[in-house]
A = this chain, B = another copy of it.
Amino acid sequence: MTSPQQHQRPDLLDTDAVLERVAARLADKFAGTFNTETVQRYVFESYVALYRTASVRHHLTALAENFAADRLIALAQARGELAKPVPEVLFLCVANTGRSQMAAALLAHRAAGRVHVRSAGSLPGHDVEPPAVEAMREVGIDIAEAYPKPLTDDVLRAADVIITMGCGDACPVLPGKRYLDWPIADPAGATLSAVRAIRDDIDARVQLLITELTTEGTTR
């Protein structure tokens, strides 16, 4: 505990104990659906996956718990062991720091429970971009606590509709799912006023999508 290197970097001596408690809690929550080994692997791998790209690591065990729990829910949904009462939409972009975060938040907000939303990135970035946070705040939606997540097999399989934005074919095509590609400008490095236009472009598409998903029952 006293080497210089361990002073410079977060130490997993304590983190491991926290992650073990997280795993025990989730194993309890998912008892009957997933065995302890699966839950443990989800927690520890989710932690390292977020650690690789996160710029701030203070709340990383909490984020790893959140991410692992959501992935386990997705896997249970994909296997038909957990009901999907509403359509599941997955937004994908490269970094999961701008477009896909705004789209997920706008859809969740506008759908108000009629659709469930996830987002991920093919090459997750460090943080949600401040102009995106600010542009969303202007319309009363808080994404300051959102965090970039890598695309995983579980959330892909849980989705009914997969919407890509600028990440090309970064996700495999699965049967029985609907794929859409939205040509949305990249907010990375853009001015706040440009990000507002991107937000409004996404918002218009999101509102059309809700109408479609809730009136046609296309995905169920």
Contact = CB atoms under 8 A, between A and B. Distances in A.
Interface of A: 5-6, 8-13, 15-16, 34-35, 37-38, 41-42, 44-45, 47-49, 51-53, 75, 122-123, 150-154, 156, 169-175, 179
Contacts of A174: 12, 16
B15 A172 contact: yes
B173 A53 contact: no
A187 B167 CA distance: 25
Contacts of A53: 122-123, 170
A174 B38 CA distance: 21
A48 B172 contact: yes
28 contacts: A6-B173, A8-B169, A9-B172, A10-B172, A10-B173, A12-B174, A12-B175, A15-B172, A16-B174, A34-B37, A38-B38, A38-B41, A41-B41, A41-B75, A45-B152, A48-B152, A48-B156, A48-B171, A48-B172, A49-B150, A49-B152, A51-B171, A51-B172, A52-B122, A52-B151, A53-B122, A53-B123, A53-B170
A34 to B, nearest CB: 7
A175 B13 contact: yes
A81 B188 CA distance: 46
A38 B48 CA distance: 17
